């Protein structure tokens, strides 16, 4: 049986689908990550990722593994809303509730995964992007387009809520509704990103591009664009590194390569002088 060449791997439909899904999801995570980092709520991605892990294990247990998005998106969205609700109603802080929900979901997901035939706990925790089907790719394209369209349409209000909720209320922005929308958009992006990075690494791809953008951009709009570009470069480089490694004896997982490339970009950005912040 002839060995695969680099071109065979790159031109494979499996690789092309994986790249399309990963590039779109990375853009959505990076865009939402800017808001979450600026609002000091970045670790919600980690908590929601583990909720998504538990929900995909549940989908596999009840025989709906091929339709895991139908189970995962509603459950993760509901959890995100509950976390933000408890954060506002309690003086304990949102990180406490993120810890409660995430550790519980991780334990439940591992147990459900052991009883689910055909479900890989490792893939759920660390991603399995090369297993993307054509139907899943179409779902990702549609959902990512909706996330980016909502972000563009609500850009001014999201900007206002991110920097100053008091001012936003004074200008008749429905801040509770905006928080609800931020929760929903983040939840969907996290669920989609789990296939790329898995539950354990999803928060890093929300945080790293946003921190990179914060160092190199001087405005909110600049941060959005820089974060998206950083995420796209990181994903492309990480997937390229993973593909090259498949020609050797020790293939590297895509998710881990992407996260490390994103970390390298963030560290490089820290060597640059931080730009003076402008609120625009």
Kindly report the pTM of this predicted structure.
0.84
pLDDT of the residue at 168? 78
* Residue-wise pLDDT tens digits, 140-193: 899 999 999 999 999 988 888 888 777 777 877 888 888 888 888 988 998 888
Are 95 and 43 in contact by the 8 Å Cβ rule? The answer is yes
pLDDT > 90: percent of the chain: 19
Tokens coding 55: 């929900």
Which distant-in-sequence residues (6+ apart) come within 8 Å of 117 by Cβ?
60
* Residue-wise pLDDT tens digits, 248-267: 777 888 888 888 999 999 99
* Residue-wise pLDDT tens digits, 57-114: 888 888 777 677 888 888 888 888 887 777 777 666 556 777 777 888 888 888 888 8
Are 96 and 82 in contact by the 8 Å Cβ rule? The answer is no
Domains and CATH numbers, the chain: 6-270 (1.10.3470.10)
CA–CA separation, 245 vs 239, rounded Å? 10
């Amino acid at each position: 049986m002839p060995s695969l060449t680099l071109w065979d791997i790159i031109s494979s439909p499996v690789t092309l689908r994986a790249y399309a899904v990963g590039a779109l999801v990375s853009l959505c995570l990076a865009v939402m990550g800017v808001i979450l980092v600026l609002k000091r709520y970045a670790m919600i991605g980690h908590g929601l990722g583990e909720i998504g892990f538990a929900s995909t294990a549940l989908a596999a247990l009840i025989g709906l593994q091929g339709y895991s998005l139908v189970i995962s998106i509603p459950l993760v969205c509901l959890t995100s809303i509950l976390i933000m609700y408890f954060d506002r109603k309690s003086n304990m802080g949102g990180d406490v509730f993120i810890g409660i929900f995430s550790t519980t979901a991780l334990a439940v997901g591992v147990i459900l995964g052991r009883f689910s035939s055909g479900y890989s706990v490792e893939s759920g925790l660390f991603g399995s992007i090369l297993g993307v089907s054509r139907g899943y790719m179409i779902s990702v394209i549609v959902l990512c387009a909706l996330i980016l369209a909502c972000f563009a349409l609500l850009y001014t209000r999201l900007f206002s809520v991110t920097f100053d909720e008091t001012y936003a209320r004074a200008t008749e922005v429905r801040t509770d509704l905006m928080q609800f929308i931020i929760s929903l958009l983040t939840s969907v992006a996290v669920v989609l990103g789990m296939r790329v990075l898995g539950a354990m690494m999803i928060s890093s791809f929300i945080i790293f591009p946003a921190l990179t953008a914060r160092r190199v951009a001087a405005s909110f709009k600049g941060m959005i664009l820089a974060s998206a570009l950083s995420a796209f470069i990181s994903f492309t480089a990480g997937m390229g590194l993973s593909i090259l490694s498949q020609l050797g004896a020790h293939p590297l997982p895509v998710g881990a390569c992407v996260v490390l490339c994103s970390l390298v970009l963030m560290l490089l950005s820290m060597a640059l002088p931080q730009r003076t912040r402008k609120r625009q």
